[in-house]
Each structure stands twice: as C-alpha cells, then as structure tokens.
Structure 1
Amino acid sequence: MTSNHIQVWIQFGLIDIGVLLLVGLVTYLTIPWWYRWAFERVFRRFVRILFEDPYTSNLAEGLTAVQKFGVQWIIENELRSHEGRPLAKPIGTTRQFPHFDGLLFSPAQLQRRPLNHQVSVVSETVIGRRADRPMIVSMPILISAMGYGVALNKPFVRSLMKGAAMAGVASNTGQGAWLPEFRALAKHLVVQVHDAPWHPSREALRTADMIEVRLGQGANAGCGTVIYPEDLTKHIANDFGLPDALTTGCYIPAGVSEANHRGALRRLVHYLRSVSGGAPIAVKIAASHSLEQDLAIAVRAGFDVIVVDGAQGGTHSSPAILVDDFGLPTLVALCRAQKFLVDHGLRSRIDLIISGGIRTPGDMLKALALGADAVYIGTAALFAATHTQIVDTIPFEPPTAIAWAKGSKRRSFDEDRGAISLDKFLTSCVEEMKLGARALGKTSLHDVNAKDLVAWQEDVARITGVPLV
C-alpha cells in the first residue's frame, strides 16, 4: 500500500469521525424534543394496552399474582417447577413470628442506679455446670452447628473455628466430617453426634469440650438430610469416607437410633459422658408443641444441657415446607422451656441454650433475661465472617457463594480475614451486652432477668409473661 493510499484512508477516517461527532452533537442538542416525542408515543401505547385489553390477557394480571402470592413465593414456585423435587431453602424462614423485637429493657434510673463504664461486667459463662469438666467460655454466645461438607467448605469452617477461638467461645462441628485440624484450631469444640456414616469417632468424642446429640433443628424439624452428588466435591467425599458419594450422593438419618428407645438414650448419654471424661452432654431438639414432653424425656436420659432450636433457625438447605411451616417460634420455645425447668426444680441442674433467628446483641441479652444460659448464632456468624469479602460474589452471586461447600466463589475466601471479622463481631456483641447490663445496674450478664423487661406488643406480653406497657 502506497503512501497516497494511506493518506486517503486517513482522510476517510477523519471524515467518518467528524460525521459521528456531528450526529452525536445534533442528537444531544435535540434530546428534549425527540425524547419527549418517543416517550409520549410509547407511554400512550402502553396506557391504551393496559386500560383496553381484556383482563385475562392484560399485563395487570401479573400484578394480581404478585400481590396474591408475593415475589418470594412466585420465585420459589418457579424453582419447584424447574427442579421437580423438594425445594432446598437456605438461611431460614422469612415469616414474621413474635420475636424479641416486641420486648424492651426498662433502664435503671433512681430506684436502681445505672453503672459507669468503668464498672466491670462479668460475661464468662459456664455450660454444663454439673459436669465433671464443664465448658467455660468468655461470653454466652456460641457458634451454631454448620458442618464441613454438609453446609460449608473447609476454609470457611476453619475460619469460624479460628474466629471463635480468638473470642474465647465454642464452635460446633455440626453434621459434617470431624477432622483433627478442627480440634487443633478450636479453643472450645462442640462435637455433634449423628447417625451419618461419617459420625464422630471415639477420638473426636474424647477430645470434645461438649458433646451435642442432634435429634432435630428448627429448619428441618427432625428429618434426615439428603446430600446430592452435585453438592459434593472429591475432597469432601473422601473426608466423609464415601468416595462413591460423588455419583450416589449420601444421606444423614433423622436423629440418632438410640432416641427410639428411652433406655438406649440413657445408655448413650452414659457412654458419651464416660468416653469424654465428663464433658457436658447436650441434646439439640426442634421446638414442637410437645416441647414439655420432649424435655421430660431429655431430663430422664440425663442430659446436662438442652439446646432448643426455634422455627426461625436456618440451615444450608432444607425442604422449604420444613423451613416455613414447622416448629414453634424461638421466643415461645424459650419461655416454655424455661418454665418447664423452673416448675420442675431443674434450673440449677440443667443449662438451657436457645437458637433460631438470634441476630443482635439486643436479641442475645433478652434471651438471657428470659432464662437462656447462652445462645447459638448461625446466620449472624456466617455473614460476620464473610463481611467485606462479599464483594467477590455480588451482584451476580449470593454472598454465601464463598461459604457453601460447593459455592462458586469458595476459592476466593480468605479464612484469616474471615476469622478476624468474626472475632470483632463477637467482641462488639458482648461489649454492647455489657453496656446494656450497666444500663440496668447489673454487674453480670447473667444477673439480667425477666423483671428487667417490658413488652410493647400484646402477643409478646402474653407469650413471655412480662408486663405490657
């Protein structure tokens, strides 16, 4: 190509650029005219269609459906239409049950004086006070069961255990695989007993700071759990000791078989107490309307700690019908469990842990006031650990894409950053609770009681028995 040809092409290029600039300028200067003209034509056409088409073929029919069902239920039903199997729903229900929001603390003023910031407030908590080696944690907040492979990927579980250890609280192995590295990372480790093929070994039980027999939970009642092949990785299947699960999937049975016979349940508690050298033995149950009968059976079996999970409890994935339509609200479960233990003279013998929808330091302190010795947090801890790392997932993936066992962004998660975030969250929560105790004139979080509360919602006053303002 000669220099003359190059010059011609340059000239044409400059002309094209000039024409584009001129068109752009004209378009910009005439926007007020053509934009209004186009908008009015489209808008008028839309209004005619909306107001003239029969309702059966009218776009407004969709608005009726949205109002009737709600956006969430429409999406969930569409997912059912796509998958053709029980819809696995994460995190928990969005139903608005009576909750701790209906309660307020009554601050100390003249009759009882509030305390200055310099006054120390005790947060240390003893779990399993009658056990030979009770679990002593720095605050009445524990990290709930979120198992490796069942719910979370290994780095995320490690992060939770590191963060809990920094804060001096306990973390829970859940129904996932127990690994020696988890014991090494955790300062206080709760080992959960279940009937899956990878159930904890004698060694795992021996080194536990508390053992928790899982019979049920708020998000899936007392049902078993199906783990589909597509939710597993090769490493998880190998850690489960089930390499074939990559093609067959696997199943966690409902509860433990010993729960079918009360004598067997007592023998299980005795065995666990013996093999652990006297660690507290807890039982985790979903709150049902037969709660008192369930508690009586647990007491006779000899459990040191009872964990009651309310209907707001979440999980990685459970059938939506169990998440949304089963169980008792956490507030109801707590009050009924506390009343049962007090009425039967068991309050000094058995510790009570509540879980399910515990979100804030206010929720936590109110739970203590209503009788809980400690609370489990799951979703709150999960999001505390993800913290600003969610920028690696949103807006195209959910924040939990870095947390779930097969999450699409799991490899981008920094477990040490997550641990630091969780530690700061837990520290912030307990410091706020201490501020609340000082405002009530109390020097221990465990001195806060129901007399410090008032209710501003009638149903909450009825459920809790505290005065209605």
Structure 2
Amino acid sequence: MLNELLLRMANPITDGLFEKIVTEDYAKSPLVMMTIMEKLTLRAIAETGIRAETGKALKRPMGSPLRLSPWEKLLLNPRQLFQLPTAKQSNIKTQVTIGPNAKRPLQIDLPILITGMSYGGSLNLKMKEALAKGAALAGTATNTGESAVSSEERKAAKFLVGQYNRGGWLNTPEQLKQLDAIEVQLGQGAWGGAVESSMKYEEMDEHLRELWHVKPGETSGKKARFKGVNSPEEIINLVNQLQKTYEVPIGIKIAATHFIERELEIIGQTKADFIVIDGQEGGTAAAALTLEDDMGLPTLFGISRTVDWLRKQGKREQFSLIAAGGLRTPGEFLKALALGADAVYIGSIAIIASLQSQMIKALPENPAPQLALYNGSLADQFDVDEGSRHLANFFQSCREEMIMALQAMGKNNIRDLGREDLVCIDREIAAALKIGYAGEPVFRRGTVHLAAK
C-alpha cells in the first residue's frame, strides 16, 4: 500500500522531469548537467568546487584513485605436466630476509610488511598500535613512517623499521638503537618525491608534542632535504655512516620516477642493505592532488626498471628490494615478487583490513578513515585489539592464497619466483618487462630467454 502511494506521488514529478529533458532547449535542460559530469567527471567538479571555496591546495587521504600499473594484464604461470606441482603445501616456505649482508638481518615469516605511515603526520596512535600488533601476529614488520618511535608502537611490534626522516624526529641514537631496520626516507610516491610540510602546535595532542619535542607556539614539520645534506655525496656519506654505526639493515626509500636509473646510480655508491621503490599509486594521509595524480612512475615499471639496473650493474645481490605503492592482493604481491622484488610494503589495504568490522562506527555519517587518521573525528572509537586481529587474519589469508599459487607453479620457496613465472596479454608491456607474451609460445624462435630472479 505504501509503495503504491509513493509511486503515485512520484509519478507527476518524474513525468514533468522527463518531459523537460526531452522537450526543452538543450542549454536549459537538466540533461546538460549529466553531460557536464560525463565530460568533467563528478570528482573533478567536486574538487573544483573545493578549490574555488578555499583557495588552498587540496589534500586527499589514501592517495590517488588512478591505478596506472597494469597488474591485471599480467598472469602467473602454473605447471602441470612438463613440471609437476609441488607435492605438499606444507613444504613451501614464505620466509624472507631483508639485508642478508647486515650484521643483524631482518628475517620475517612472509614477504609483506606494513609501509611507513607516521603517527601524527598520518595516523592516530591506536591505529599505529593495531598495525604493529597485527604485523607481529603474522611474524612480519611494521614501519614508523616519518615520525618518532613511540613506546606504544615499539611494545606492540615484533619487528620495527624506522624512517630516518626529513623532520628529524627519529634521527637520534636513542631512537635509532630501538629499531630492527633503518630506512632513510628520501621520497614518497604519493608526494611526488620530497616536499616540505608542517604541523602547528595546536594541531597536536600532548602525547605527540612530547614525542616530537615541540614547545608552545612552535611549528614542526619536514623539509624537502635533510638538515645539512645538500648534495648526492652528502647523502652517500649519511647512509654509509648509519651503516657503519648500526648493525641492523640500512635502507633507502625513494619515489619511483622516470629518472630512476639516475637515482639508483647514487644509491649504488652507498653501503645500504636494501632499497624501497615507492610507485605513483602509493597512499598517504593527505598530499596535494597534483602530487598524487600527476607525478611519478607506476609501481610495476618502477620495480622492473630497478631490478634491471641492479642486474646490469652486478649489484643485485648487494641490495634487497622492497616494492611499495598501491599493492592490494596476494596475486599482485606475487607478481611484484616475480618481477624481482624481495618483499612488498602495504599501507592503504592494511588500514582497510584493520577497519574491517569497525567501519560501521563511521558509516554512513562519516568516512571510514576518520577512525584511522591522526586528526580523525572518530579516532577514540577505534578498537586496537579488534583491528590487529583482522589485520593478522588478512595476512594469514594472503599467505594461504600465495602458497596455493606457489604450489600450482611448482615452487618450494617464494624466493624461487622469477620473470619466467609471468606472462602478459599486452605485447608492448611484455617487451618492457622482459616477460613472455601470451600470444606466442614460450620456446618460439627469437623469444628472449629470461634470467631467473
């Protein structure tokens, strides 16, 4: 009865609207807004409105919506007859070592780590605790991001990677000696590399002010460069001094760009133990839209070009490689490893996993990230134990699916993956990545024989 009444009430409205659409001059028709949205997109219209209202650079959480790495065009290669599948899944190993040449290598149970997302600059303390605890339950590492080591995160983490950062918050012996690996943060994919940013005293709570040593009236932030470091040579010296001073693996993180080989020439002169390549699809709490959408290199090509350069220079064994930027699924993780990465960082998808059952606390009135962000209006409602449990479940689910795929490919160890385990449905991409093209037989004359990882 109610449905029928509502339909009768709506009928004259819809009739009038439809008549107006099909009879009015186009410029006066409601249809014109539909065509404007088709041309400009609703997102561009909304972003234009915010710019016109505020006159300030826009900042978008979680990174760019653009996904430029064509992971879906790559497939993994199972074996059935010429090589048999692995007999038992229990025989397949997923453990990896980051920085095997370091005095104290970082050994983790699976090649998936939580990427750098800072307490204060990005996430609230509860979310940082949940990420650390969830990673610990899975036997892997979490990352401080561009912040300092809090006692809460250190206690929750089994393995903690710390970012030697351009804000200086972690760059002291007292902080550095608490870490299981040190990552010199020279750039970030979602920030177009390295860009300065700041945070006012009144935007911080007392816990963060104490951790960052910020006094009343002060503004804290990161610069585009490290203090006192103004040349490639000084970067090399910085990294080498850290490697000399600390026993844990020392790494360098950069945003992937079209100049990646030139950047690697500098890294290749250091004594670093690992490299992090962060693609354009990487996330962040709040970067300007132009930095997120219009700068950098897609993650997939960042990985392949880095591995190719390291092999060509005979340095592949010197550096472990961690790939970051928009990776979401076990299949994508495996493809990144097959291209040559030793491990992958995840960020946005880890937050989503941690929020799994708690999004209802926010939706529909508020966006779910308000539970996770440092200045999120619902930060106090996030449950750490529940979030860490769901993140650990996500890790376990990914591990199980990855092992299934490895069994189908006849692998006993995840480190046995190589480019021969990939095929691409796009000829140009296949050639760029030096992997097989789906339209040609594997052993066709003239086909490039691919080196194993």
TM-score between the two structures when normalised by the length of structure 1: 0.88
What's 2:28 paired with? 57
Residues 102-144 of structure 1: CA deviation (Å, up to 9, x unaligned): 1111111111101234541111111011111111111111100
State the distance in 1 between where 2:20 and 2:43 align.
Answer: 28
1:96–1:165 CA distance, 2 compared to 1 (3 A): closer
Q: Quick check: 1:90 aligned with 2:54?
A: no
SS at match of 2:251: strand
Matched residue type, 2:151: P
What residue identity is the alignment partner of 1:268? Answer: L
Give the superposition deviation at 1:403.
Answer: 0.5
Q: Deviations over 1:35-59 (max 9, x none)?
A: 6765443333223322343333332
Question: Which amino acid letter does the alignment assign opposite residue 289 of structure 2?
Answer: A
Out of 259, 281, 286, the residue aligned to residue 317 of structure 1 is: 286
Counterpart mapping for 1:140-289 below 5 A? 140-221=111-192, 222-227=194-199, 231-244=203-216, 249-257=219-227, 260-276=230-246, 278-289=247-258
| Partner in structure 2 of residue 298 of structure 1 | 267
Alpha carbons of structure 1 residues 35 and 120: separation in structure 2 relative to 1, 3 Å: closer
Q: Number of residue pairs matched?
A: 437
How far the C-alpha of 1:303 sits from its partner, in A, is 1.6
Is the CA contact (8 Å cut-off) linking 2:240 and 2:272 kept in structure 1?
no
Deviates more, 1:181-190 or 1:130-139: 181-190
Computed over aligned residues only, the root mean square deviation of the Cα atoms, in angstroms, reads: 2.0
Q: Structure 1 257/241 Cα, relative in aligned 2: closer, same or farther at 3 Å?
A: closer
Q: Which residue number corresponds to residue 15 of structure 1?
A: none
Amino acid at match of 1:220: W
Secondary structure, aligned partner of 2:189? coil
Q: Which stretch of the first structure deviates more once superposed, 382-391 or 91-100?
A: 91-100
Aligned equivalent of 2:84: 113
Asked whether the 8 Å contact 2:425–2:437 carries over to 1, the reply is yes
Cα offsets for 1:393-425 (capped at 9, x unmatched)? 111111111100011111111101111111111
Q: CA deviation at 1:455?
A: 0.6
Residue of 417, 423, 426 corresponding to 1:454: 423
- Deviations along 1:217-264, one digit per CA (max 9) or x if unpaired, are 11002212233667533432333221436xx65321124246522332
Q: If each structure's helix is expressed as a fraction of its own residues, which one has the higher value?
A: 1
Q: What letter matches 2:211 in structure 1?
A: D
What residue ranges of structure 1 are gaps of 5+ in the alignment?
A: 1-27
Give the corresponding residue for 2:441: none
Q: 1: distance between equivalents of 2:214 and 2:295?
A: 32
* Deviation (angstroms), 1:304: 1.4
Q: Secondary structure at the match of 1:67?
A: helix
Aligned partners of 2:338 and 2:223: how far apart in 1? 35
Q: Give the equivalent residue in structure 2 for 1:401.
A: 370
**Higher alpha-carbon deviation: 200-209 or 355-364:** 200-209
Residues 93 and 462 of structure 1, relative CA distance in 2, 3 Å threshold: farther
Contact 1:234-1:243 within 8 A present in 2 as well: no
The one of 305, 310, 331 equivalent to 1:362 is 331
Deviation at 1:199?
3.4
SS of 2:349 mapped into structure 1: helix
Identical-pair percentage: 34
Q: Where does residue 8 of structure 1 map in the other structure?
A: none
8 Å CA contact 1:191, 1:200 repeated in 2: no
Which moves more between the two structures, 100-109 or 172-181?
172-181
CA distance, structure 2, for counterparts of residue 303 and residue 84 of structure 1? 43
Alignment of 1:318-357 (within 5 A): 318-357=287-326
CA distance in 1, matches of 2:385, 2:271: 39
Q: Deviations over 1:82-120 (max 9, x none)?
A: 222110011121223132211111111111101234541
Runs of 5+ unmatched residues, structure 2:
439-453
The structure with the larger Rg is 1
C-alpha distance after superposition, 1:187-240 (max 9, x if no partner): 111110112153332111112111001011110022122336675334323332
